[in-house]
Amino acid sequence: MLTPFLLITSLQAKQFHALTHSFAQRRAAIPFARKSLRTLSVATEVYTPSNSKSSRCSLCLGGKSILFILLPPLYAFFVLFSVLVSFVFNRLQPLFNKTPGGGGMREESWMRRPVSVLTLFALSMLSLTAAPRADAWGCRGHETVAALAEKHLTPQAKQALLALLTANPIDPQLRRYCGQTGLDAFVDSSTWADDERGREPATAPWHFIDIPLGATQGPAQNFCGAGGCVLQAITDQLAILKDKNAPGAKRAAALRYIIHFVGDLHQPLHGATNSDRGGNCVPVKYFTRNPHPRNNSYTPNLHHVWDTEIPESQMQGADPAEFADTLDAEFETSFTAWQQGGMQLDAWAWESHDHAAETAYGAFSKPIPVEPDVPVNPCTDDNNIGQRMLHKHLVIGQAYRDQAASVVEERLAQAGIRLAMILNEAAKIGL
């Protein structure tokens, strides 16, 4: 998605270097900088994330990425700064050339090459804006789900799935939010879908299902939005994985989506909303950390605490494989019941919704009231839901975390065991 913009940046950078060859020509570079800024402004409009109803983007303002809003003035400043640096260097260069011994400065100095700095700057800024986060469980949580599932794959399934992933590796140019962890291909795939969303914004709604907090139980599929939801995404990607006529790369991508989405489905705040973007608009005091505004949300907020803070506090420094072993031993007697009836996506979604209602929202000393079901993008929607929740002074302390932690551990274990069940069944027909 970003390739056209980067190509424009690269071509204009070369043109800029040519214009700045002499001081006289540097004056002509100023209009060029203005032209570059106009081009960049157009690019930011094209690549601003969608402001759909159910977006979980926490780095947006008025439907636009904060970093995209800041990028044009920063880019303009850097262009003008490079002109000034290049001018000063060329004025000082004769002094270096006369230094005894002829050491001087390297020909490829960054001051001789403002283009290189501009290009790197643009690339680094784009890497920050490319993928607004909407994680369920965070890095370690998703990896734990995958590690537990891998332990319960049949030898046949494990061999086929690893072969598919190895033959169709993740694009090395894709920026990985969770970094290079040295995990095997199956566990490493668990976080890919969040990174890929930066390239494919249309996949953002696939990570959750917005069942209103006060909804009456019925077919969960009815709450899928126009862009889809996690239930539909798992069903569609499983069909692609099983299609032996589909290209290998597409089937590998489908497998990576399934590994991630089954984890997402089991995060309570990815199965419920209270017109607050799944808890992103609910500021909380987390032990001694007070909430404060951050872009289009607050930190700490209810959603992030369930995504990351509580799961990682339960891990106590263990890596995903070790924590998977812990969950395996703790919940072993429940595995058969959890797999009863095969893949039950609708029921699993309602499990998440009920955990959200009873614990995520309901375990505070003063339970959060049910909001009217209205569309919310910025936290100022729904009569400024963010500010109203902030004034409730919600606190997560030891009692709340202990109650939430038991839910989190169970949901991670359920996700892992059920993911293994789905993939083992798929492997029976041959992958």
107-111, 166-170, 267-271, 346-350, range with the lowest pLDDT:
107-111
Q: Is the pLDDT of residue 59 over 80?
A: no
- Supply the pLDDT for residue 367: 83
Count CA within 13 A, CB hemisphere, residue 290: 3
DSSP per-residue letters across 145-209: HHHHHHHTS-HHHHHHHHHHHHHSPPPTTS--TT------HHHHGGGHHHHHTTT-GGGGGGG--
Structure tokens belonging to residue 257? 């989506």
Q: Is the pLDDT of residue 226 over 50?
A: yes
Across the chain, what does the average pLDDT equal?
79
Residue 137 pLDDT grade (very low, low, confident, very high; cuts 50, 70, 90):
confident
Alpha helix positions (H), 20-103: 23-46, 66-97
In angstroms, the CA 239 to CA 223 distance is 21
Q: Are 206 and 261 in contact (CB under 8 A)?
A: yes
Residue 296 pLDDT grade (very low, low, confident, very high; cuts 50, 70, 90):
confident
Q: Is the pLDDT of residue 385 over 90?
A: yes
Question: Strand pairing of 395-396 and 285-286?
Answer: parallel
Residue 297 pLDDT grade (very low, low, confident, very high; cuts 50, 70, 90):
confident
Q: Is the pLDDT of residue 343 over 70?
A: yes
pLDDT-above-90 percentage for the chain: 64
Highest mean pLDDT (candidates 19-23, 35-39, 193-197, 363-367): 193-197
Local structure of residue 135 (DSSP, 8 states): -
3-state secondary structure of 301: strand
In angstroms, the CA 212 to CA 168 distance is 38
In angstroms, the CA 78 to CA 375 distance is 39
- How much is the average pLDDT of 194-206? 96
User: Look-up: residue for tokens 């209205």?
Assistant: 374
In angstroms, the CA 155 to CA 243 distance is 21
Residue 114 pLDDT grade (very low, low, confident, very high; cuts 50, 70, 90):
very low
Q: Is the pLDDT of residue 24 over 60?
A: no
Q: Is the pLDDT of residue 71 over 80?
A: no
Structure tokens belonging to residue 75? 């880019």
- Supply the pLDDT for residue 428: 93
CATH number belonging to the domain at 138-427, selected among 1.10.575.10, 3.50.50.60, 3.20.190.10, 3.40.50.800: 1.10.575.10
Instruction: Identify the residue with better confidence: 138 or 238.
Output: 238
User: Look-up: residue for tokens 């262009």?
Assistant: 79
In one-letter notation, the amino acid at residue 342 is G
- Supply the pLDDT for residue 99: 35
- Supply the pLDDT for residue 35: 42
Residue 3 pLDDT grade (very low, low, confident, very high; cuts 50, 70, 90):
very low
Q: Are 209 and 220 in contact (CB under 8 A)?
A: yes
Q: Which is nearest to 260 in space by CA: 419, 25, 71?
A: 419
Q: CA separation (Å) from 93 to 44, 97, 112, 113?
A: 38, 6, 10, 14
Local structure of residue 365 (DSSP, 8 states): S
Local structure of residue 48 (DSSP, 8 states): S
3-state secondary structure of 410: helix
Q: Is the pLDDT of residue 183 over 70?
A: yes
In angstroms, the CA 326 to CA 76 distance is 53
Q: Which is nearest to 131 in space by CA: 76, 176, 184, 90?
A: 176
80-89, 138-147, 217-226, 364-373, range with the lowest pLDDT:
80-89
Q: Count other Cβ atoms within 10 Å, centred on residue 376.
A: 24
User: How do the domains of the chain map onto residue ranges?
Assistant: 3-129, 138-427
Residue 182 pLDDT grade (very low, low, confident, very high; cuts 50, 70, 90):
confident
Q: Is the pLDDT of residue 23 over 90?
A: no
Structure tokens belonging to residue 180? 């290079």
Q: Is the pLDDT of residue 136 over 80?
A: no
Q: Count other Cβ atoms within 10 Å, centred on residue 87.
A: 14
In angstroms, the CA 265 to CA 262 distance is 5
- How much is the average pLDDT of 139-164? 97
User: What residues have CB less than 8 Å from 220, skipping those under 6 apart?
Assistant: 209, 211, 231, 345, 346, 349, 350, 353
- How much is the average pLDDT of 396-414? 98
3-state secondary structure of 109: coil
Q: Taking phi first (over 0 means left), then psi (-120 to 50 degrees means alpha), and beta for anything else, what does residue 4 get?
A: alpha
In angstroms, the CA 301 to CA 207 distance is 19
- Supply the pLDDT for residue 135: 56
Question: Strand pairing of 297-299 and 60-61?
Answer: unpaired
Residue 167 pLDDT grade (very low, low, confident, very high; cuts 50, 70, 90):
very high
- How much is the average pLDDT of 20-44? 41
Instruction: Identify the residue with better confidence: 15 or 284.
Output: 284
In angstroms, the CA 243 to CA 231 distance is 19
Q: Which is nearest to 303 in space by CA: 54, 61, 115, 27?
A: 54
Q: Is the pLDDT of residue 309 over 70?
A: yes
- Supply the pLDDT for residue 424: 98
Instruction: Identify the residue with better confidence: 56 or 279.
Output: 279
